C-alpha cells in the first residue's frame, strides 16, 4: 500500500496552492471587510437620514432611500457570507459579487432612465441611458470573467482529484 492510502498528507500542486492562497489571503479578506463596512455604513447612514427627516417624505424619496438601504445591506450580507466561510470558495464569491453588481447596476440604470425621462430632456435621458448601459455592460463583463475563473478553478480541482500524482 502507498503512503497516500494510509492518510498521509498529499503534496498540493503549486498551481492550486497559489490559486487557493489568493482566495484566502489577508488582502482578499480585508477587501471583503471593506465591502461589508461600506455597505453596512451606507445603509445605516441613509437609515439615519430617513429617520431624522422632519415630516413625511415624497414617495419617490422613500423608494430611493429604501433602495439604497437594500443595496447597502445586500453588500454587507454578501461580505458577511464570504468572511464566514472557512474554506476556499473556488471564486464562488466573485460570481455572487458580480451577480449582485449586475442586478444593482441594471435596477439603478432603469430607475435613472425613468427619472430622467420624466424630469429631464431627451439629451439628459440619453446620457443617463448610455451611462447606465456602460455600467451594466461592465458588470456583465465582470460576471463573465468571474464565471470563467470559477470554472478554471473547479476544473483544476477536479483534474487533481482524478490524477493525484
Cell 429617520, residue? 51
Main-chain phi, psi angles of 22, to 5 degrees: -65, -35
Amino acid 162: pLDDT: 77
Q: What is the DSSP string of 82-104?
A: HHH--S--TTHHHHHHHHHHHHH
- Exposed/middle/buried for 121, CB within 10 Å: 0-12, 13-18, 19+? exposed
40, 62, 142, 129: which is closest to 100 by C-alpha? 142
- Exposed/middle/buried for 79, CB within 10 Å: 0-12, 13-18, 19+? buried
Amino acid 157: pLDDT: 82
Average pLDDT over residues 37-50: 97
157 to 4, 85, 96: CA distances (angstroms): 18, 18, 20
pLDDT (tens digit, 9 = 90+) per residue, 67-87?
Answer: 999 999 999 999 999 999 877
pLDDT (tens digit, 9 = 90+) per residue, 111-146?
Answer: 999 999 999 999 999 999 999 999 999 999 999 999
Cell 503549486, residue? 14
Cell 455600467, residue? 135
pLDDT band at 156; cut points 50, 70, 90: confident
Amino acid at each position: 500500500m502507498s503512503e497516500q492510502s494510509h492518510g498521509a498528507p498529499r503534496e498540493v500542486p503549486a498551481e492550486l496552492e497559489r490559486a487557493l492562497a489568493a482566495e484566502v489571503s489577508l488582502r482578499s479578506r480585508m477587501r471583503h471587510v471593506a465591502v461589508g463596512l461600506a455597505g453596512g455604513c451606507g445603509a445605516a447612514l441613509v437609515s439615519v437620514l430617513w429617520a431624522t427627516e422632519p415630516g413625511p417624505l415624497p414617495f419617490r424619496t422613500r423608494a430611493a432611500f429604501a433602495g439604497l438601504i437594500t443595496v447597502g445591506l445586500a453588500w454587507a450580507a454578501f461580505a458577511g457570507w464570504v468572511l464566514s466561510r472557512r474554506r476556499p470558495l473556488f471564486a464562488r464569491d466573485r460570481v455572487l459579487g458580480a451577480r449582485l453588481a449586475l442586478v444593482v447596476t441594471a435596477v439603478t440604470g432603469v430607475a435613472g432612465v425613468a427619472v430622467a425621462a420624466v424630469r429631464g430632456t431627451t439629451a439628459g435621458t440619453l446620457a443617463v441611458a448610455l451611462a447606465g448601459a456602460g455600467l451594466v455592460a461592465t458588470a456583465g463583463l465582470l460576471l463573465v470573467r468571474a464565471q470563467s475563473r470559477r470554472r478554471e478553478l473547479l476544473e483544476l480541482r477536479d483534474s487533481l482529484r482524478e490524477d493525484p500524482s
